[in-house]
Amino acid sequence: MLDHRTNGASPVRCGKFPPTDAAPKESGKNADKPGKLNSVSKAETYNLKCPENPLYLEELAKSTELALVILVPWCRTTQTPRALAPLSEQASKYILAIKASIEAANQAFSIATDAVNIATTLKNPDNESQVLEDDRQMYLNGMLAMAVKGHKTAVDCKQQFRNVRIDMSKLIDEAEASSTSTNMFGLRKSDKKLTLLKEGISVLESFSKSISDYVTWWGWMELSQNALQRSGEQMFINYSSLRNKQAVQQWEALRNAYADYKDKIEGIQDKHGELFADNPISAPQKVRSKGFLGIFGLAS
């Protein structure tokens, strides 16, 4: 049911769950029976809250576009002089990290959309009664698992760009030294290309700053990540906040903010079609046609 949300991984199994408004209590009658309320009473409880609306997304999209302009030429060279090969390899690593940051944003959009869809079922008594609490908890656990993955992806991306000025300056200095000492292998022809790359380091630093803000935003998942690790396969998620109109509006604003970001990214991908051809990440619509509602066959 949730494989598409966890990239093929099995969803977290949650046992039997009580209503969300209260933590589960152990039943004496069923205390020794597996799969009953007693197993959930020992689980971690996570109170689902909407994270703040990320204000950095517009800057992240802009810095992504500028960083690709700097890096892509170094990945299009079919015959790279040996002295420039390390620069091409580093540029390729940065591009992979950029693509990963886009995927993390896609996961953030999915999480926000799922939260809105669940809130929709809670507003409709007929839909709410059709979904077993076990299934809803399983789906919510899938959301948290996706958020944990998105947080890790953002952290990994930040790590790749941590010392971007030091790393690139060193590689450029080494390449320029080779270019100065010899005219072999067309190194002289690369002087202008190296100069442009050196001038573009500040652009890569700007992207690195945006990614740092990105990781800070994903920090809202750290508590749930720790809870998931402590609880193992048991996790009770209190989603009562999704009955609150203001909280749902926050989730809707978050969903739309990431949808706008994805729209901008789609335009960037169109400019670098060959770069994303092997792993295209399409910009989603403001409202997905399938998600929690679609899986359980519920009307909006």
Read off the DSSP letter of residue 189: G
Please name every residue paired with 238 in a beta bridge, in sequence order, or none if there are none.
47
State the average pLDDT over residues 239-257.
Answer: 94
State the average pLDDT over residues 215-219.
Answer: 83
The 8 Å CB, 24+ separation contacts for 119-125 are: 119/242, 119/243, 119/248, 119/251, 120/293, 120/300, 121/292, 121/293, 121/296, 121/298, 122/242, 122/243, 124/298, 124/299
pTM of the predicted protein model: 0.75
Question: Which has the higher per-residue pLDDT, 176 or 10?
Answer: 176
**226: pLDDT confidence band, cut at 50, 70 and 90?**
low
Contacts of 32 by beta carbon, 8 Å cutoff, 6+ apart: 38
Which of 18-27, 159-168, 237-246 comes out lowest in average pLDDT?
A: 18-27
pLDDT in tens, 21-30: 444 443 344 3
Residue for token pair 């926000």: 112
**203: pLDDT confidence band, cut at 50, 70 and 90?**
very high
State the average pLDDT over residues 94-107.
Answer: 92
The per-residue pLDDT for 25 is 40
pLDDT in tens, 251-299: 999 999 999 999 999 999 888 877 776 554 443 333 343 455 554 444 4
Q: What one-letter code names the amino acid at 1?
A: M
**232: pLDDT confidence band, cut at 50, 70 and 90?**
low
Task: Tokens for 18, please give them.
Answer: 């009580």
Question: Taking 60 as the threshold, does the pLDDT of residue 36 lie above it?
Answer: no
Quick one: which of 84, 67, 98 has its CA closest to 193? 84
Question: Taking 70 as the threshold, does the pLDDT of residue 14 lie above it?
Answer: no
The per-residue pLDDT for 157 is 92
Question: Taking 50 as the threshold, does the pLDDT of residue 125 lie above it?
Answer: yes
Tell me the DSSP string of 257-300.
Answer: HHHHHHHHHHHHHHHTHHHHTTS--PPPPSS-SSSHHHHTT---
State the average pLDDT over residues 128-134.
Answer: 77
Residue 72, number of CB atoms within 10 A of its CB: 15
State the average pLDDT over residues 167-171.
Answer: 91
Quick one: which of 247, 260, 237, 296 has its CA closest to 48? 237
Task: Tokens for 286, please give them.
Answer: 């403001």
**Average pLDDT over the chain, rounded to an integer:** 75
8 Å CB contact between 222 and 151: yes
